Structure 1
Amino acid sequence: MTGPDLNTRIETYYVRVRGVVQGVGFRHATVRQAHALGITGWVANLDDGSVEAMLQGPANQVDLMLEWLRRGPPAARVTDLAGEERYTDKRFDRFEQH
């Protein structure tokens, strides 16, 4: 018996990133990384200084994106990343910065 193909199964994750993540190019770098990995969804700043994102794509690519978000771009200092899988029928066409 084989498991689901992690390159074809689409996952959707909501994540919240805390630390020094605003004013350091975090959203712009996240868009570039998402495009490089073929991830769709969005990223946005929150009023409390954190960043939120919705990631959608093949399970392996989402895992790579989550790994990148734990570090962020060079000027960022990520102190916490919390996320959860979301179940939705909505499919994003691209990755955008809000």
Structure 2
Amino acid sequence: MPGPDLDSRIETYYVHVRGVVQGVGFRHHTVRRAHALGVRGWVANLDDGSVEVMIQGSANQVDLMLEWLRRGPPHARVTEFFSEERFIEKRFERFEQH
């Protein structure tokens, strides 16, 4: 009996990053990376200078996006990275910048 197909199950992760992540194109680059990987969800700046991201996709897509978010775009400097899987019913249609 074959195992579950990692590309068919949808995973949802919440990510919170701190560091030099605002004013460096972090959200814009995150949207571009998400679109390139086919990930859905959103990215938003928070008032405390950090950024939060909700990503949804196959296990492989999510892993690649999490790996990218740990570094961010060229001018960002991620000093704290937190991610956790969330179990939600909502299915996002695209990836958006808030």
TM-score (norm 1): 0.97
Please give the alpha-carbon distance, in whole angstroms, between the structure 2 residues aligned to 1:68 and 1:4. 25
* Matching residue of 2:41: 41
The number of equivalent residue pairs is 98
* Matching residue of 1:59: 59
Shift of 1:2: 3.8
* Matching residue of 1:79: 79
Q: Equivalent residues in 2 for 1:23-34 (5 A)?
A: 23-34=23-34
Secondary structure of the residue aligned to 1:70 is: helix
Q: Equivalent residues in 2 for 1:13-32 (5 A)?
A: 13-32=13-32
Shift of 1:93: 0.4
Identity percentage of aligned residues: 80
Shift of 1:3: 3.0
**Amino acid paired to 1:53:** V
Please give the alpha-carbon distance, in whole angstroms, between the structure 2 residues aligned to 1:49 and 1:2. 46
Please give the alpha-carbon distance, in whole angstroms, between the structure 1 residues aligned to 2:45 and 2:12. 19
Please give the alpha-carbon distance, in whole angstroms, between the structure 2 residues aligned to 1:15 and 1:92. 16
Q: Deviations over 1:18-40 (max 9, x none)?
A: 11000000000000000000000
Secondary structure of the residue aligned to 1:6 is: coil
Please give the alpha-carbon distance, in whole angstroms, between the structure 2 residues aligned to 1:89 and 1:59. 17
